[in-house]
Amino acid sequence: MTIELREFDTSAYLDNEELIAEYLAQVLADGDSDELLVAITNIAKARSTTKTARD
């Protein structure tokens, strides 16, 4: 039996501004600049996906 795993995509769950704000607040609280760069990328991807869905 083979189990196939997919990479977790945080941006798929950032579907409203409240979640985005909380996510960003948690990342900023951790104080990790590398994690902040990943978070900004995830937020940009989430907003792009949301805008595409609305259009």
Q: For the chain, what are the domain ranges?
A: 10-54
pTM: 0.79
If you compute the radius of gyration of the chain from its CA atoms, what whole number of angstroms results?
A: 13
pLDDT tens-digit profile of 12-29? 999 999 999 999 999 999
Note the pLDDT of residue 51: 63
Angle 25-29-30 (CA atoms, 0-180°, nearest 5)?
125
Residue carrying structure tokens 């996906």: 49
Angle 39-52-35 (CA atoms, 0-180°, nearest 5)?
5
